Amino acid sequence: MTITLSREELLGTRRRKLAEPELLAPAGNLEKLKFAIRYGADAVYIGGQQYGLRSNADNFSFQQMREGVAYAKKHGAKVFVATNIFAHNEDLPGLKDYLSELDRIGIDAIIVADPAIIETAKLAAPNVELHLSTQQSTLNWQAVKFWKDEGVHRVVLGREASMQEIETIKDHVDIEIEVFIHGAMCSSYSGRCVLSNHFTDRDSNRGGCCQSCRWKYDLFISEEELMTASYSDRLVEEGENPFTMSAKDLCMIEHIPELIRSGVDSFKIEGRMKSIHYVATVVNAYRQAIDAYMRDPYNYELKQEWLDEIGKAANRPLNTGFFFDEPDHEDHIYTPEEKPQAYDFAGLVLEYDAESGYALIEQRNHFKPGQEVEFFGPDHTHFKQIVGEIFDEEGQPLDAARHPLQRIRMKVEQPVNRFDIMRKRI
């Protein structure tokens, strides 16, 4: 559909001077970093092996950071490192050396929540920007001004900020603002979960969240009876599904015009532990939407294909979080949800021979002749076909591509490019 702007919206756009936002993508490892940038990210955020909130991700060594920074700079992108734990005393030794190394590597910014890390970074990493983490739950312009006065270069607002609050902050404080526009939402306030600590002794604010809100729960008559209760003591009747405290995922692909007009400087996608397929698909959809609006904001058209692409990477039902109203019972998942049709990353295009029409593809998940697959890529590759004959690199026919990272050749019905993804419906 075409988006028509009201007079008030046009005036607001002019007042804030329409500027293209940064598209910031997650990168759980070096390969995901490259895919995020190839598929349209202006910047990526990664985790090191200390001081970050995703201890279970494939976090970066210093050498991998150097490779990532070199790749990003070659493609005009930036790299941020999450150092956003709330530190205990035992976390402080070695902090200065760690931050100094990030500075030497050429990291553009660190995402930080703890004042101790902020103050240490000012001395140890003077060339690295300070981006205040969403963990600080910053939601008003006076708090944003406080952090600006403390030397912070950018504030990542709490996920609880509304669109109106964002606009007020931008009107009052001249500082970069970053907001999450896509990905998982936390049932706790700005991710300050204590359930994970209580149930599993894994500290969610030191990188150990066990996602206890996603578990399935039963209700019993009383706490005293819990250990000896029989099935008949449950308040959930037999045959009914256990419930969760799981929030629906955030998706703002339908509201790119409002986000850009609000003055937000950086659009952040959640998901350092998500798959390459998720990163490439979601980043590419938002890249297209942002570019289309910036080319012609007065005749912007929301395309169904962008919504379809987001659906192919969705893990849960989607909503708009806190941007336009307060989430209620309809924004949580209490029973097993209806998931969108899932897709697998089946193969990565390495080479394409235009004369023969054959592509060299690196297998990522099992596929075989007769299956329908879909190709997509950052250069607008997008088509479906049935897999025909496949061959190994020596030209021997195969009945399936079943070995991890196996290289096969197959004929493709349209031209493809290096780094295009082949996916299949699960």
Residues 241-251 pLDDT 10s: 666 777 788 99
Spatial CB neighbours of 50, under 8 Å, sequence gap ≥ 6: 83, 94, 98
239 part of a folded domain:
yes
In this structure, of 170-174, 244-248, 271-275, 349-353, the range with the lowest mean pLDDT score is: 244-248
The angle, 0 to 180 degrees and rounded to 10, between the axes of the packed helices 95-105 and 115-124 is 50
The CA-atom distances, in angstroms, between 28 and each of 25, 45, 61, 113, 205 are 10, 8, 12, 20, 18
With contact defined as beta carbons under 8 Å apart, do 52 and 26 qualify? no
Residues 304, 321: one domain? yes
Q: Is 253 domain-assigned?
A: yes
Enclosing domain of residue 222: 216-247
Residue 328 tokens, joined: 């209620």
- 386 forms bridges with which residues in the sheet? 372
295 and 400 inside one domain: no
**Three-state secondary structure call for residue 40:** coil
Same domain, residue pair 263 and 122: yes
CA separation for the pair 138, 159 (Å, rounded):
9
CATH code of residue 279: 3.20.20.70
Question: Would you state the structure tokens that stand for residue 139, as one six-digit string?
Answer: 């939601």
**In which band, very low, low, confident or very high, does the pLDDT at 12 lie, cut at 50, 70 and 90?**
very low
CA quadruple 387, 389, 392, 395: dihedral sign: negative
Question: What is the tally of structural domains in the chain?
Answer: 3
Residue 105 has pLDDT above 50, yes or no: yes
Tell me the HSE value of 175 on the side-chain side, using a 13 A CA sphere: 29
The residues, ordered by sequence, that sit 6+ positions from 329 with a Cβ below 8 Å of its Cβ are none
pLDDT tens figures, 307-359: 999 999 887 878 888 899 887 777 777 766 566 667 889 999 999 999 999 99
Mean per-residue pLDDT of the chain? 87
- Decide which of 310, 333, 356 is a domain's last residue: 333
Spatial distance between the Cα atoms of 353 and 335, rounded to a whole number of angstroms:
49
190 occurs within a structural domain: no
pLDDT of residue 227: 58
Whether 69 and 167 share a structural domain: yes
- Whether 17 and 103 map to the same domain: the answer is yes
Note the pLDDT of residue 199.
Answer: 77
The answer, yes or no, to whether residue 9 has pLDDT greater than 50, is no
Whether residues 258 and 268 share a domain: the answer is yes
User: CA 325, CA 412: separation in Å to the nearest integer?
Assistant: 47
